Structure 1
Amino acid sequence: MGTFVLPRRDLAAVPFLQLLRGFGHALMAAFIFFACFAFSDTSPYDLVAIPTIVLWVLLGVRLYRGAVPLVLVLLVFVGATVVALMPYLDEELPPVWTVQLCYLAVTGIFFTMFFSDESDRRVETALKVYTASALFCGILGIGGYLELIGNDKLFSMYGRASGTFQDPNVFGSFLTLGAFYLMHDLLTGRARRPLLSGLGLAVLLAGVFLSFSRGSWGGTLAMGILLVVMLYRTSASRLRRRIVLLAALTAGFGAVSLAGLLSVGDVGETFAKRAAVTQDYDEGETGRFGNQLRGIGMLIEDPLGMGPLRWRRTFNLEPHNSYIGAFANGGWVAGVAFVFLVLMTSRVGFRLMSQDTPYRRHAQIVVPALLMFFLQAMQIDMEKWRHVYMMLGMVWGLEAARVRWLASGEA
């Protein structure tokens, strides 16, 4: 089994190194928890990122063969975007945006390497920390929306819950992975404190709803159904009955809760506005969809694309579509690489959710959440969302572990 190995010293028995590894795990926990802080372009997440990555490189992380496809495609995607940047190096924003994209790609590769070893334990810990982060953020968002915390501009925006994010759409989507983790444990009976887990799930779903993000609503519902279906298909008959019963109870409780929320303040009115298929900014020749149609025609004629952030200059509006954005920012090569990354990861994800391996349980939690972002990418720009790269690393770390597990003959 071939692997690419960064320097590693097998001195785990040395007390100092044990202490250092413990500190490394604490840094990683902080790294993941701080993903919820996105008040500005620079957050505590970014401050913790560099020492965490450097320390774990020194402790030893490995790039296994099963994760190499992700690294290659990310390098092509980022490399093409860097090439497209060249004519605009003298401008202020495009270089900064591109450097941030490169940094996020590095974090995605690092997460992949980290989760490739001791995958079950590390992913479980990461999901617990992420869920705590989501609950913290969700409570602030709900409290801000109900004006129980802060003011109308703190933890809420545009009459929508936003928590510790600058955008309610990002807030709503961020909560989904935590909700799926709690949901999966409740359905399988793994939750040690079912009442607390149920309460946590209710908080996260309420946060998703009060974000009034159509993408978060639809994505959470669709991928929640996928989670239940995949869990049902891969479970024994006795557990299947539990899954059906609890899923039905959850749906009923959700319907009652929705009716209750709609009766609170302006929730019903905001819901009616946001539930419309299109908004004012979507329509017309200069709306979101009009710009996309005109922009696609321009991109077909220009294999090199527009360059990073040039779409904004051309149309005075972001593309609100990560697939179109990839072609616009980095040209045909970057666009094809991004699409290939999504298709390749989706294929790997469905295989992880289906095959009977030690990694299936975690895959059934993480993969639906990541697929939700791939769906949302059709109506929002998510290539700069920090937590997406963490989920990407989780999925490919599990894939690398699966490949090694099969090769070891333990299957």
Structure 2
Amino acid sequence: MTTASLTAAPLPRWREGAWAGIPAIRVIHGFAAAMHAAFIFFACFAFSDASPYDLIALPTMLLWLALGVRLHRGAVPLVFLLALYLSAIVVALLPYVSEPLPLTWTIQLGYLVITAVFFAMLYADDTQGRLDLALKAYTASCVLSAGLGIVGYLQLLGIEDLFSRYGRASGTFQDPNVFGSYLILGTLTLTHGLLTGRGRHPVLALACLLVILAGTLLSFSRGSWGATLVSTGLMVGFVFVTSRSRAMRRRIVLLGLVTASLGAAALVGLLSIDSVAKTFESRATVTQDYDEGETGRFGNQIRGMSMLLDEPLGMGPLRWRQIFGLEPHNSYIGSFANGGWLGGAVFIALVAATSFVGFRLMARASPYRPYAQIVFPALLMFFVQAMQIDVEKWRHVYMMLGMVWALEAARLRWESRGRDHDAVPRATHAAAAGDGRDGNGYAGASHPHGRAATGESRSP
């Protein structure tokens, strides 16, 4: 057969048609992105210990690892602290390793630690693209869960027991407190988009925001109410202070007033419902009956802390529950009880280190500052809530831990390169207009250390 006849031969069938020009790797990456979005979205389904989130976790992580995600030096402190914390828990577990509940609890904790490390690796590369997708998927899950929580609370479909607990909206969660706290990141994502003009559909975003806020209110979770208000104020404050655009600052003030007015109107409307008003009145107190007394939550904590002074290796996983009949309802005390003095010290160090990194990310000019201003305030509120609730088994806390440290890893790599590769393809209308700011009205994000193209220092 001649060369001419070879070139004239028809293509095999598998190379014909619409798939002919699509490389296999592109299809695999598209599938991996879909798995990633589903992984994040399913975090809202927490009816039981096993959820769709857990079922999709392993194949998603294995697929992305096969595609080459890697650990960058900026996220190494997170891995070190989580490994040390888990090691302390395992040591405390050893006397009770034959008991199924403590063993299962520790295995679950190890799995959550692995997810945090995975997220720190995943978002350290193509940071903006992957985080955009993750925040959209997470916000969609918040809208769904909040909508179901409202439906359940108002008994609109006769399935109120599925989406409400104890006379409070719980959405797709077992606990109304976890439900209310889960919605914080969705609130911040939508609010940030409205303030900065990043969203393409502001009316839809505002409607979704009101649904999430209504779900938060109907959770009747005092911690979630306070955390939503404080985290939103912190985010808005940092966006306002770090913006160099007067137009942006006016927009922030105007939209802040409009959103506050709409939120107040929605609150008045909900409180006009008798059942809502009564539950609100009973929940809007500093303490509840189960908090007080020698055998209440606070009494148990005082007695337990004195006991922990004599337990350098801790009580062991879940032993606090067996001793006092209740969880500690304080993750800081719980870390000392579950992992001993080392576990408690490492947990505090993890919170301190992440808080330092988070505040620096929110303040220092970089392409990743807008994402830090969304994610870190939500995570910070979980650190605060950890003083009155157990957050060490919440899936979304480990997700946000990974996000914050991935942002730090990406920022360090961006600064070391001396130029911005990640943000240029994603320049928005503000940058395209040539006003010297990034897409959120922040000056100087196109070069490390906050220097604009003119060389002028723009760091906050």
TM over 0.5: same fold?
Answer: yes
Residue of structure 2 equivalent to 1:311: 320
Residue of structure 1 equivalent to 2:308: 299
In the comparison of the two structures, how many residue pairs are matched?
399
- The yes-or-no answer on 1:374 pairing with 2:374 is no
- Is the 8 Å Cα contact of residues 140 and 149 (structure 1) preserved in structure 2? no
Pairwise mapping of residues 263-302 of structure 1 onto structure 2 (< 5 A)?
263-302=272-311
- The yes-or-no answer on 1:49 pairing with 2:57 is yes
SS in 2 for 1:217: helix
The one-letter amino acid of 2:185's match is: L
The one-letter amino acid of 2:115's match is: T
Pairwise mapping of residues 197-236 of structure 1 onto structure 2 (< 5 A)?
197-235=205-243, 236=245
Higher Cα Rg, which structure: 2
Residue of structure 2 equivalent to 1:102: 110
- Is the 8 Å Cα contact of residues 151 and 160 (structure 2) preserved in structure 1? no
- Is the 8 Å Cα contact of residues 34 and 44 (structure 1) preserved in structure 2? yes
- The yes-or-no answer on 1:257 pairing with 2:294 is no
Residue of structure 2 equivalent to 1:196: 204
**1:327 aligns with one of 325, 336, 346:** 336
SS in 1 for 2:43: helix
Residue of structure 1 equivalent to 2:366: 357
1:334-359 per-position Cα deviation (integer Å, ceiling 9, x unaligned): 11111111111011011111111000
Partner Cα distance (2:370, 2:270) in 1 = 32
Pairwise mapping of residues 123-202 of structure 1 onto structure 2 (< 5 A)?
123-202=131-210
Partner Cα distance (1:223, 1:132) in 2 = 20
The one-letter amino acid of 2:286's match is: V
1:149 deviates by 3.0
1:48-91 per-position Cα deviation (integer Å, ceiling 9, x unaligned): 00001111111111100000000000000011001100000111
Partner Cα distance (1:380, 1:218) in 2 = 14
The one-letter amino acid of 2:101's match is: L
Residue of structure 2 equivalent to 1:8: none
Partner Cα distance (1:372, 1:264) in 2 = 29
The one-letter amino acid of 1:112's match is: A
- The yes-or-no answer on 1:403 pairing with 2:386 is no
Partner Cα distance (2:309, 2:130) in 1 = 43
TM-score by length of 1: 0.96
Partner Cα distance (1:285, 1:196) in 2 = 50
1:134-170 per-position Cα deviation (integer Å, ceiling 9, x unaligned): 1111100111101113423110000000011000001
- The yes-or-no answer on 1:385 pairing with 2:394 is yes
Structure 1 residue runs of 5 or longer lacking an equivalent are 1-12
The one-letter amino acid of 1:252's match is: S
Cα RMSD (Å): 1.1
Q: Give the 4+ runs in structure 1 shifted more than 4 A.
A: none
1:20-60 per-position Cα deviation (integer Å, ceiling 9, x unaligned): 12111111111101000000000010000000111111111
1:14 deviates by 8.5
**1:346 aligns with one of 343, 350, 355:** 355
Residue of structure 1 equivalent to 2:100: 92
SS in 2 for 1:154: helix
SS in 1 for 2:264: helix
Partner Cα distance (2:373, 2:112) in 1 = 24
The one-letter amino acid of 1:92's match is: P
Residue of structure 2 equivalent to 1:9: none
The one-letter amino acid of 1:220's match is: T
The one-letter amino acid of 1:339's match is: I
Partner Cα distance (1:152, 1:63) in 2 = 44
1:254 deviates by 1.6
User: In 2 relative to 1, CA 150–25 (structure 1 residues): closer, same or farther, beyond 3 Å?
Assistant: farther
Residue of structure 2 equivalent to 1:115: 123
The one-letter amino acid of 2:107's match is: V
